[in-house]
Amino acid sequence: MSRAPGKTVLIAALALAGFAGPAVAAGPELPIHTASDTGSYHTKLCPPLAQHIKDNQQFLSPACTPSAGSAENYDLVQQTPGTLGLAQFDVIANLLAAEPEGATPPVSIVERTGVRECLFAVSNAEDPLTFKDIREAAAVAAFHLPPEGSGSAATFAFMQSLHPDDLGAAFSVTHEADTMEMLRAVARADQTVVGLFVQFPDLSSKAFEYINKAGLQVIGVGSRAMSTARVADQRVYTVQEVATSEGGWFSSAETARTMCTEVVIIAANPEAVSDVGAGKRLDLMTKALGGFDMVETATADDRDWLARMLDSAKEVTGPAAEGFLTEVEEATGGML
The DSSP annotation for 202-221 comes to: -TTSHHHHHHHHHTPEEEE-
Return mean pLDDT, the chain: 88
Q: List all residues 6 or more positions away from 279 whose beta carbon is below 8 Å from its beta carbon.
A: 81, 270, 273
The DSSP annotation for 113-159 comes to: EEEEEEEEEEE--SS---HHHHHHTTTTSEEEES-TTSHHHHHHHHH
Relative to beta strand 194-199, strand 107-123 is antiparallel
SS3 content of the chain, % helix, strand, coil (to 5): 40, 25, 35
Over range 296-308, report the average pLDDT: 88
Calculate what percentage of the chain has a pLDDT beyond 70: 87
Rounded Cα–Cα distance for residues 276 and 29 (Å): 18
Rounded Cα–Cα distance for residues 182 and 56 (Å): 42
Among 11-20, 137-146, 215-224, the least confident range: 11-20
Q: Residue 223 to residues 29, 131, 167: CA-CA distances in angstroms? A: 42, 9, 12
Higher pLDDT among residues 23 and 219, named by residue: 219
Q: Residue 123 to residues 83, 90, 151, 255: CA-CA distances in angstroms? A: 40, 23, 20, 16
195 near 123, Cβ under 8 Å?
yes
Rounded Cα–Cα distance for residues 208 and 201 (Å): 9
pLDDT above 70: residue 248:
no
The pLDDT value given to residue 301: 83
The pLDDT value given to residue 335: 41
Rounded Cα–Cα distance for residues 157 and 142 (Å): 16
The pLDDT value given to residue 53: 94
pLDDT above 50: residue 19:
no
CATH topology of domain 27-114+264-310: D-Maltodextrin-Binding Protein; domain 2 (3.40.190)
Relative to beta strand 142-145, strand 194-199 is parallel
3-class DSSP state for residue 289? coil
What confidence tens digit (pLDDT) does each residue in 157-213 have?
Answer: 999 999 999 999 998 999 999 999 999 999 999 999 999 999 998 888 899 999 999
Number of Cβ within a 10 Å radius of residue 229 = 22
Same topology, domains 27-114+264-310 and 117-262+313-330? Answer is yes
Confidence of residue 336 (pLDDT cuts 50, 70, 90): very low
Q: List all residues 6 or more positions away from 84 whose beta carbon is below 8 Å from its beta carbon.
A: 30, 31, 32, 33, 49, 62, 77, 110, 265, 266, 267, 285
- For the chain, what are the domain ranges? 27-114+264-310, 117-262+313-330
3-class DSSP state for residue 100? coil
User: For 117-262+313-330, CATH number?
Assistant: 3.40.190.10
Among 12-26, 109-123, 177-191, 210-224, the least confident range: 12-26
Confidence of residue 247 (pLDDT cuts 50, 70, 90): low
Rounded Cα–Cα distance for residues 37 and 50 (Å): 15
pLDDT above 70: residue 118:
yes
pTM: 0.87
pLDDT above 70: residue 12:
no
Q: List all residues 6 or more positions away from 100 whose beta carbon is below 8 Å from its beta carbon.
A: none
Cα angle 142, 126, 147 (rounded to 5 degrees) comes to 30
87 near 70, Cβ under 8 Å?
yes
